[in-house]
Structure 1
Amino acid sequence: MKLTSLGLAAAMAAIAPAAFAQEVTLRLSHWVPATIAPAAAGIEPWARSVEEASDGRIEIQIFPAQQIGAAPDHYDMARDGIADITWVNPGYTAGRFPIFSLVEVPFHVTDSVQGAKAIHEWYAQYVEDEMSEVKFCVMHPHAPGALHSKEPMRVPSDIEGKNIRPAHATMARFVSQLGGAPVQVPAPEVREAISRGTADAVTFPWGAMYDFNLTNETDHHLDMPFYLSMQVMVLNPDSYAGLSDENKAVLDEHCSPEWSAEIAKGWAEDDMSARERLMEDDSQTFYQPTEEEVALWQDSAQGVLDAWKEEVADRGHDADAIYDSYIEHLERYGIRY
């Protein structure tokens, strides 16, 4: 069959988008095992959605479990281009992101899915003040974590004299203010620390009780929304700048408050499923504090909030205005504790 010049031009035009569309591979690094909820229910679906939305122009290669770098280094890895996309826990670098660390102050948030959306919208106002070296994409917490211990711990005074593995620097400060001793070990080493008696308790999300085999070590659970630990997905700015406008648009669509909530959803479901499983286990003991005891815990965290305000003010920010905005966003979504 012969093609006229006009027909040949039409045929070439039809295949040009497929033949010449930009193809790019982005490396995404995180620091948890690929099989546990944060990765399997959050990071992986996000990456596959980016690929699908780009019609295959973007491929995302995922490197889990600190294959490329240690957990505390992931912000710098994105900044320096060691990876194109990284999953960062800002709480692992104490003092570096003081505004952000407000989300770590305990007893504020009751729901992590709506919390992810609310906090994304709140922090977007300040991200250029603290994370201007990278492109901010999404943020998501686990479901509000709890205090898990070898012996009952029901009120703040029970922390005094105990060794507690805190979730992050803010929780370490809280433990210290209550007269406890923070035991700083990575999550995979918590079980050993408790079994050896180095730690008496841990602040952990519910799912981590099974992820890190802790059910035989800490069988007492203070059943209240104790704290959040928020993770952030960031991009290397040069990697983003080098994309076509079409591919940038795909990533922009996936860097939104709605996607923060979507990523948080799978992790939250896993945490709540683990909580229900623990409650059905006769070897586990749950304690739900009374209203008076909840008030004691909330009052006991005032020193942490005051310290946060002082640190933020020392950096030249209006701490009261930032805090008021945070509370406004939580109340807008009905998730303030």
Structure 2
Amino acid sequence: MTPIRFMTSATGRAVLALSATLALAAGAVHAQDKPVNLKMSSWVPAQHPLNPSLQAWADDIKKASNGTITATLFPSEQLGKAFDHYDMARDGIADFAYINPGYQPGRFPIMAGASLPFLFANGKGGSAAIDEWYRSYAAKEMKDVKFCFAFVHDPGTFHARKKITLPTDIKGMKIRPATSTIGQMVTSLGGTNVQASAPESRDMLERGVADAITFPWGSIGLFGIDKVVSYHMDVPLYVTPFVWAMNQSKYDSMSPAQKKVIDDHCTSEWAEKVATPWADFEFAGRAKIAGQAGHEIYKLTPEQLDAWRKATAPGEAQWAEGVKKVSQDPKAVMDALKASLAKNKSAL
């Protein structure tokens, strides 16, 4: 057996010295990454299932960045009102912000298409679908921020103080819509929109300022709205699209290695992963409401459902006009969304 010989020549010493230098250099690269703490703003209450998902996302970033990127989550509108979260991300009030684009009618016309009625069958695949679709438009429509990912909740419906079965029932009602697109539908059916963020909605209903709300099932109990409405239409009427966005300057200030960590966590896979616990929570909400006394959950007949589809169809034409104003082809935009929904098994 040939004995192992250690390198003692000048060449050997040079190789060892080079190896040591490279190792030190690699360590220096990590050492040069300055610590970053991200302020993450979420306007839903602390107990909302979205918050643990956002925290888990941030924890994974910390691990992937070798601890150089940490985050502090501020729920319950601590950093600002729900309506203001896009501007908060733009202005650096928050480094990451949870945005409902529908809270600002007309500002994000492309994304508004995702809240048209009768598109989404579920919130899990639906979140991957909307993220994959919107990535083609986000850089232009949300150019003030760094888009991270988009997602949706499980489909919501009408929850009201009186039974709503036909589109004609909306006439004369005061309704808090989830998005501007749903608000346009309400107006077209003869109703009046009452603007209120999710945290403000129970008070509006309790005081009689609103007669009904469009909301997902689980959040009805979470926000206490089940105490002030009794009738619930059992149909996947709509979803609300959301965006998780970053302050661009904060991103630009990071090292290349840190930017890669952020980029690796701003994907369609992460969109679905973050949205899934919330989707499960909302889906389970229907059974919880069904188990409460004084609540009526009712299905629509095929004829009633057909009436709703016909009555809400003009909303797409109205949406299309807004898309044309930003020099986009509405048919191509909607066809792309429907294709993404089909691909992710979330088309209604």
- TM-score, length of structure 2 as denominator length: 0.89
Q: For structure 1, which segment, 220-229 or 188-197, has the greater mean C-alpha deviation from structure 2 after superposition?
A: 188-197
Residues 76-115 of structure 1 aligned to structure 2 (within 5 Å): 76-115=87-126
Pair 1:291 & 2:291 matched:
no
Could you say which residue in structure 1 is the equivalent of 2:181? Answer: 170
Could you say which residue in structure 1 is the equivalent of 2:4? Answer: none
**What are the superposed Cα offsets for residues 152-189 of structure 1, whole Å, 9 maximum, x if unpaired?**
11121111111111112111111111111111122223
- Judging changes above 3 Å, is the alpha-carbon distance between structure 1 residues 6 and 241 closer, same or farther for their aligned structure 2 residues? closer
Give SS of 1:225's match: coil
Pair 1:216 & 2:263 matched:
no
Give SS of 2:217's match: coil
Q: How far did residue 38 of structure 1 move?
A: 2.2
**What are the superposed Cα offsets for residues 62-102 of structure 1, whole Å, 9 maximum, x if unpaired?**
22222222222221222222222111111111111101110
2:70 equivalent among 28, 36, 59 = 59
Could you say which residue in structure 2 is the equivalent of 1:49? Answer: 60
The one-letter amino acid of 1:30's match is S
Q: How far did residue 305 of structure 1 move?
A: 0.7
Task: Check the 8 A contact 2:44/2:199 in 1, yes or no.
Answer: no
Give SS of 1:227's match: coil
Could you say which residue in structure 1 is the equivalent of 2:282? Answer: 271
Q: How far did residue 7 of structure 1 move?
A: 12
Could you say which residue in structure 2 is the equivalent of 1:255? Answer: 266
Task: Check the 8 A contact 2:146/2:245 in 1, yes or no.
Answer: yes
- Judging changes above 3 Å, is the alpha-carbon distance between structure 1 residues 85 and 319 closer, same or farther for their aligned structure 2 residues? same
- Judging changes above 3 Å, is the alpha-carbon distance between structure 1 residues 257 and 15 closer, same or farther for their aligned structure 2 residues? closer
Could you say which residue in structure 1 is the equivalent of 2:135? Answer: 124
Residues 223-238 of structure 1 aligned to structure 2 (within 5 Å): 223-238=234-249
The one-letter amino acid of 1:39's match is N
- Partners of 2:22 and 2:247 lie apart in 1 by 39
The one-letter amino acid of 1:198's match is V
Task: Check the 8 A contact 2:174/2:191 in 1, yes or no.
Answer: yes
- Partners of 1:108 and 1:188 lie apart in 2 by 26
- Partners of 1:163 and 1:10 lie apart in 2 by 68
- Partners of 1:129 and 1:223 lie apart in 2 by 37
Could you say which residue in structure 1 is the equivalent of 2:339? Answer: 328
- Whose Rg is larger? 2
Could you say which residue in structure 1 is the equivalent of 2:317? Answer: 306
Could you say which residue in structure 2 is the equivalent of 1:29? Answer: 41
Question: Structure 1 regions of 5+ residues with no counterpart?
Answer: none
- Partners of 2:31 and 2:50 lie apart in 1 by 36
1:74 equivalent among 63, 80, 85 = 85
Question: Structure 2 regions of 5+ residues with no counterpart?
Answer: 1-16
Give SS of 1:185's match: coil
Could you say which residue in structure 2 is the equivalent of 1:180? Answer: 191
The one-letter amino acid of 1:322's match is V
- Partners of 2:304 and 2:73 lie apart in 1 by 44
Q: How far did residue 55 of structure 1 move?
A: 2.1
**What are the superposed Cα offsets for residues 125-144 of structure 1, whole Å, 9 maximum, x if unpaired?**
11122012211101111111
Task: Check the 8 A contact 2:33/2:255 in 1, yes or no.
Answer: no
- Partners of 2:250 and 2:198 lie apart in 1 by 31
The one-letter amino acid of 1:71's match is A
Q: How far did residue 279 of structure 1 move?
A: 1.7
- Partners of 1:50 and 1:146 lie apart in 2 by 35
Q: For structure 1, which segment, 125-134 or 102-111, has the greater mean C-alpha deviation from structure 2 after superposition?
A: 125-134
Q: For structure 1, which segment, 277-286 or 92-101, has the greater mean C-alpha deviation from structure 2 after superposition?
A: 277-286
- Partners of 1:45 and 1:102 lie apart in 2 by 30
The one-letter amino acid of 1:101's match is A
- Partners of 1:311 and 1:13 lie apart in 2 by 53
The one-letter amino acid of 2:103's match is Y
**What are the superposed Cα offsets for residues 191-238 of structure 1, whole Å, 9 maximum, x if unpaired?**
222222221111011122111112231111101111111110111122
Give SS of 2:328's match: coil
Identity of aligned residues (%): 37
The one-letter amino acid of 1:170's match is T
The one-letter amino acid of 1:165's match is R
CA RMSD of aligned residues (A): 2.1
Q: For structure 1, which segment, 278-287 or 143-152, has the greater mean C-alpha deviation from structure 2 after superposition?
A: 278-287
**What are the superposed Cα offsets for residues 14-43 of structure 1, whole Å, 9 maximum, x if unpaired?**
965665543211111222222212223x32
Give SS of 1:207's match: helix
- Partners of 1:8 and 1:309 lie apart in 2 by 62
